[in-house]
Chain A
Amino acid sequence: MAVSLSLNGKDLSLDVPDDMPLLWAIRGVVGLTGTKFGCGMAQCGACTVHVDGQPIRSCITPVSAVSGQKVTTIEGLQGKAAQAVQAAWVRLEVPQCGYCQSGQIMSATALLTQNAKPNDADINAAMNGNICRCATYQRIRAAIHTAAKSLQG
């Protein structure tokens, strides 16, 4: 069954089983690999993408559930908040192995889009679903604050 959706601004029709998680469709069928597999059960956030701007875990979201919706992956991430987040990530040297960081950046960008000035509790709430096994958390927190400041300009 073909599922139609918009991925990073492009309309696509994917001929995949309805129950295939969006993650595997993005990685395996479309071939965009910035979105990562970490657990497959909504525990780690490595697979975070935006659906109509909201962060979701693509590993447990069937492709059919996003039919007709706008999906954004790290490859298609745009806008002021995203730029501020990515710039802060580079400047504060947040990543270590880097594997979790697409998901972290997707979650952080969604947070800043909704809340221009998050405090530490807001950051905990928005980012607690994103595991970083390298434990780069201190820098993730600092980079979100830095990005927020740069957005206020």
Chain B
Amino acid sequence: MTIKRRKLLICRSTGCNSLDAAAVHDELVKQLKERKLVDVEIKKTGCRGFCEAGPSILVQPDDVLYVHIKPKDVTEIVEKHLMNNEVVPHLVYMDPQTEGFVPKMDEIQFFHKQKKITLEHCGLIDPENIDEYIDLGGYEQFEKCVKESKNYEVIYDIKSSRLRGRGGAGFPTGLKWELCAKEVGDVKYVVCNGDEGDPGAFMDRTLLESDPHSVIEGMCIGAYAIGATQGFIYLRAEYKLAIRRFDIAIKQARMKGFLGKNIFGTGFNFDIQLKKGAGAFVCGEETALMASIEGKRGNPRPRPPFPAQSGLWGKPTNINNVKTWATIPHIFSMGAKEYSNIGTDDASGTVILALTGKINNSGLVEIPMGTTIRDVVFDIGGGIPNGKKFKAIQIGGPSGGCIPANYLDTLMDYKTLTELGAIMGSGGVIVLDEDTCMVDLAHYFITFTQRESCGKCAPCRVGTLKMLDILTKFKKGKAVMEDIDRLKHLAEIVKKTSLCGLGQTAPNPVLTTIRYFRHEYEAHVNGKCSALVCKDLIQYEVIPTKCIGCGLCAKNCPVNAITGEPKQAHLINPQECIRCGLCIVQCPSQAIRKINATQQGGM
């Protein structure tokens, strides 16, 4: 019997690597060698987005996806699937609703409603091998543009695709390019913004780790359209794997002649240099980013002048986000009109979301603009774990806002999200359930922006600090009702008067939580945190009927706040307790619970 030539695609992105994909990979290599299965190819790929199910192996051409693979599972896959053509049912994805096994990747609900354009290659090609990208038509669009189109034709195409920037503000990309192309200058620059400072976002990292060449090709096309000869990519220092892979990709592209001098023999010169960020959220803001590339403190400056007029070293500069650049080659290969037909009137094409938090299927998803929040959370995301109730999504990171459950049927695009007080931002979606305290969340975000404020303008530097003070009062149960409006008033001032986007958007998490969850602020004034999160308003107690007196909690309590005789119900002293929650984790019989503190002010 001849077995059709199979490929095993194993994800080696940061997510799966941390779940020990390397051990699975090694085991696969070893077993194929031992059994002399020379016909099977193992391929190291980037991320397919389904991080929840990692480490995962995709068997092609069967299109069968094995999930949560451990080294010990490899034997079964090799013996049954590769040698006997039988799918191993218990290693494929199980639909939690039907409890049926779903072997085919496309039929898994997580993938079903997605539309992969920008992420098309992710998880299917080896990001460290340029030939795989070329085999799928890579760099063809760049060649076509340079050889067959005038620069204004390229810009016209991007304009008619109606693509909007995916880095936050959603500025029309074609228009941005046009403005920069029109500027006269001996030198022009293009910049790829890969700072991805929003906590809860990993779209850019995944793209750079999984398909770096699409970003490079996009930048090449953009540089040609604008007339730039030098490109920069500004990448977060924390993204070690992305940095490594992008560096490899640049070198390979140079070797193939896609970067460098006289590209395709047309006289067009362009090259890209990689710059590592050094850990400052504000450096994602374009003027701060440029200062940082120049080797200065990452202080933002007022615009105008815009980067197109005066950017890096005073030269015309065009900055786009990683996802924006990566989408460019796909627009040309599918056709600008075709791309613009996807989505809504407000926004064309697809959007990439990082879906995390209290959700069953966390990972990276790509959906047409205008998909409802419900589809994202419940169909693709598979709903909320442990039977908990959905409370809200937080979208747009520290510049974004919370959208509560009664807006589940909202279509997601730039306009509607902004109307609701949030922003699309770069696409980080954090799903919140009933156990999330909205006051704590607002406090969390303001702590973040307050720390990241560069300090140049007073509204942001002082305003965020004052907002944090008020929020801390709420968390401690020391706030009064008037503080809610005081906080709102302050937030509005900071929003209106800050110098850069950081301060102008920092109040959004506060304003949306007050708008949709005012009752939670009121409850905190009354000393209650209904999600039982704010430490000063809760206490821990032992349920005597459930306690088996094993003493594990007492042994592990860092402050010796728990007492009790062996085999007797134990007792927690609320005065000593620091509410670290360790005892709950240790308890084998779920006998410890959190309750609202009996006295106001708690400890």
The answer to whether A and B come from one shared complex is: no
Interface, chain B (partner A; CB < 8 A) = none
